[in-house]
Structures are given as C-alpha cells and as structure tokens.
Amino acid sequence: MDDRDSRVGDDVDKGGDDGDRFETRAVTYGEAGARTGAARDVVTPIHLTTTYEVPGLDPDADLETLDPDAGEFLYSRLSNQTRNALEHRLAALEGGEHAFAFASGTAAITTAVTAVVHPGDHVVAFEDLYGGTRSLLTRLFRDRFAVDVTFVDARDPEAVAEAARPDTTLFWMETPTNPLLRLCDIEAIAEVADDCGAVLGVDNTFLGPMFQHPLDLGADLVVHSTTKYLNGHSDSLGGALVTDDADLADEVAFLQRVGMGNVMASFDAYMVLRGTKTLPLRMRAHEANATAVAEFFEGHDGVRAVHYPGLETHPQHDLATRQMDGFGGVVSVELDADLAGVERFLGALEHFPLAVSLGGVESLVEHPATMTHSPLSQAERDDLGITDGLLRFSVGVEHREDLIADLKRGFAALDGVEVVVSDDD
C-alpha cells in the first residue's frame, strides 16, 4: 500500500457506522435495513411498490419529513426502502450527514442550485464546467429566473474572490474539470465562500467519494453523477447530493420529493448499491491504468500535451497531491494532429469505443470539440483550450498492456503506417 491508499484506509471517522473504513462502508453500510424482513435478506431488494398500507389515520403526519428509518412509508416518491438504503450508503461514503439520490446527476445539480439561490442572487462558477451544468446555470437560472452567473478561472482562488459580490449566494466548482483536468483549491474557495456567507457546492463526479472529500475541505454540499464511477458499469443514470447542513437538507428534501419529484428509481438505487461495493477495487484499477496510459502518452512524440493530475508535469500536481487521495481514471491528450489525423487514430482503436460519459469499467474515448463541447462556440473552445486534437480517455479496468497496444495501433494509423493486428494482440 502506498501512502495514498493508507490515507483512504485511515479515514475512519467519516460517517461510518462505528468508524469503519471506506472499503467496509462501501460494501455494507446502509444494507442492514434489508435484514428487517421475515427472510433477513443480506442484499437490499428492489422495492417496486409505489404505495404502502398505513396503520391508520394520523392527523399529525407531515409528508415532507417522513422518516424511513422510523418505518414511515406512505408513497414511494416520498420514501422508498431501496432508495433509503442507497442514501445511507452515499452519506457514509461521502462522509456527510444527509444524502439524497436523484434521477440523474443533472437533477442533483438543478436541485442543489434551486435550494440555494433566489431571483436576483449571483453565482460564481468555474468556467471549465461540465457542459450541462453550464447550460442549466445560464439557460435556466440566468435567463428564466434572473440569477446572475459569473464564470471564472477558478484555478486562481483570487479570481474567485474578485468575482464575488454582496449578492453572491453560491459558488459552484468542479475539480478536476472536464476535459482539461484543471483543479481548484477547495479549501481556499471555501474560505472565500465563508467570507461572503455563501454556499460552496462541489461536483465530485470525476474522482468520486474515495479520492476526494470536499465536505472535509469546507464545501457545504457535494453532488455526484452516480452514472459515472459510483455505479461504475455504464448501465444506470442517477445523481446524489450530500450535505452536513440540516437546513439545506430540509430544503433539498422538499425539492427532491415534493417541489420537483426528482427521485432515483428503486431499480437504479439497487444498481448503485451494487456498484458501490466494488468502488474501492475499481478506483485503484482505474487509477493504475490511467497512470500507465498518461505515462505512455507523455513519452510519445505524437502528443502535444497530456493532462493528468498524477503526472509531475501537471501544473497543479502539488495541489493534486495535497487535496486528493487519488488521481482518478480520466486522461486527456492533445494529439499533434488535425481532425483527419484524429479520425485515423480513433478508427484504429479497438478497446476505446468513441462515446461520451466516463467512469465505467470499460474504457471509452471522446472528442470534446465535436462531442461534449460542441455546443460551445469556436471562440469559447479556443479560450478554454479545447482544440481539434484533444481527446478525453476514460480509462477502464482492462489489462493495461492491451490498452497501450491499442493506443500504439492508433498512432500507427495516425502516421499512415499499415498495422497488422494478430489474433493474440
């Protein structure tokens, strides 16, 4: 075990039942609720019922605060056993008091922003954000609900402080960002947010709850697209929000269950419960393979730049080492090629299907300029540094030698060299 592994393992007091370590929480926490039925299931079943028989009339019942832990079930949008089990698991993994599972990561983000901002408020956000988040902040909150938004290069905490105004109520950050793997200093930005009496929300999707703990660094709320690493198998859409703030949690509970009805379906809750059990195993494998892929690219002269926070050449490698417990599974690379060259490279790959999304056990590659970041204008892409040569790899858990052999095939095709792929390749 290297230092980083043991730091994860020593992380004993974060929401775990009796101070259990991350790997233990990932397998068991939340699941105990399954053992209340007559058969004492070891694994939480998928509870599909939409409604529950109640014991009798209760004039004092409060629909918004039904407590599933106290056996309060009425209607599945309000509380559901499978979703409840997952919410306990998510709280334990992220080290927070209150967790909520949503129909998508986007639903978690929309709910988080709605829970904090009012018309006339101001939001400061990292300019290099997930495209959907950028769109919802501008097209929904700014254009419809009169919430002003300023995008800043949050690599510099001073720039974040300078963008703050008396009416700023929310700071919204991602780190590392997509696709350029830029970082922001969560602790420094949490101080800025504190000084403004504002909320800091962090989208922790890219690293997941094992490799980064924003709540410990001062964030007020954390969101995830569980679609990515938490579920980990590219077969379930979902989102999560975790916070220690009881008032914020009440508002989120209202929005999730009543105001928006943005709940995760019990089938998906089951899938994510299952996926999280192997999260620690998968994250270590993703990271080891991503490191090998990043090092391979770094040594190749067909590459203009490699973006991976684990490389010593990453401009924020020190911050990465300080703030993160692992460097994750996403590597971006700028090939020394035009669009036609990139197409030749991609066409030769067998182990990296061209597809958006990330965080599954299978490797994927995507081309930001024409896929995830195509809604941006050419000028916006140029400003951010998203060139035609840029590719983002979500490195899976396959054997790393197979992945690297595949990338060699890509470079051979890029250079116009005929490659013969043998059966045992």
Which residues form the catalytic set?
77, 130, 203, 228
Do residues 113 and 136 touch, judged by C-beta distance below 8 A? yes
Stretch that binds ligand PLP, among 18-26, 127-135, 343-351, 409-417 (CB under 6 A): 127-135
Q: Which CB sits closer to ligand PLP, 227 or 363?
A: 227
Asked if 101 and 221 count as a contact pair (C-beta separation under 8 A), the reply is no
Q: How far, in Å, are 98, 194, 348 from residue 87 at the CA level?
A: 8, 27, 42
List, in sequence order, every residue forming a beta bridge with 173; answer none if it has no partner: 202
For ligand PLP, give the closer residue by CB, 127 or 295. Answer: 127
- Residue 185: CB atoms within 10 A of its CB come to 21
335: which strand partners?
Answer: 303
Cα–Cα distance between 235 and 326 in angstroms, integer? 24
> For residue 293, how far is the Cα from the chain centroid?
21
- In angstroms, the CA 92 to CA 28 distance is 10
Among 106, 236, 256, 332, binds ligand PLP (CB under 6 A): 106
The residue range among 26-34, 102-110, 185-193, 194-202 that interacts with ligand PLP, by the rule CB under 6 A, is 102-110
82, 168, 227, 236: residue in contact with ligand PLP (rule CB under 6 A): 227
Nearest distance from residue 87's CB to ligand PLP, in Å? Answer: 17
Are the C-beta atoms of residues 122 and 165 closer than 8 Å to each other? Answer: yes
Q: Which stretch binds ligand PLP (CB under 6 A): 18-26, 66-74, 146-154, 222-230?
A: 222-230
Of the residues 82, 178, 243, 266, which one makes contact with ligand PLP according to CB under 6 A: 178
Please state the closest distance from residue 174 (CB atom) to ligand PLP, in A.
Answer: 6
Q: Is residue 100 involved in binding ligand PLP (CB under 6 A)? A: no
Stretch near ligand PLP under the rule CB under 6 A, chosen from 64-72, 90-98, 125-133, 400-408: 125-133
Which residues have CB under 8 Å from 87's CB, separation 6+?
Answer: 30, 99, 100, 101
Stretch that binds ligand PLP, among 31-39, 98-106, 163-171, 379-387 (CB under 6 A): 98-106
- Whether the CB-CB separation of 408 and 352 falls below 8 Å is answered with no
What one-letter code names the amino acid at 29? Y
Shortest distance, CB of residue 203 to ligand PLP, whole angstroms? Answer: 5
Which is closer to ligand PLP, CB of 208 or CB of 389? Answer: 208
Given a contact cutoff of 8 angstroms between Cβ atoms, the answer to whether 33 and 88 are in contact is: yes
CB closer to ligand PLP, 50 vs 370: 370
What's the closest the beta carbon of residue 109 comes to ligand PLP, in angstroms? 6
Give whichever of 154 and 237 is closer to ligand PLP, judged by the CB atom: 237
- The nearer residue to ligand PLP, 80 or 133, going by C-beta atoms, is 133
SS3 state of residue 202: strand
Ranges assigned E (strand) in 158-212: 168-174, 199-203
Q: Which of residues 228-257 bind ligand PLP (CB under 6 A)?
A: 228, 237, 239
Residues 137-176 that bind ligand PLP (CB under 6 A): 174
Within 175-251, strands assigned E span 199-203, 221-225, 239-243
Strand 199-203 with 168-174, pairing: parallel
Query: For binding to ligand PLP (CB under 6 A), which residues are involved?
Result: 104-106, 130, 132-133, 174, 178, 203, 205-206, 225, 227-228, 237, 239
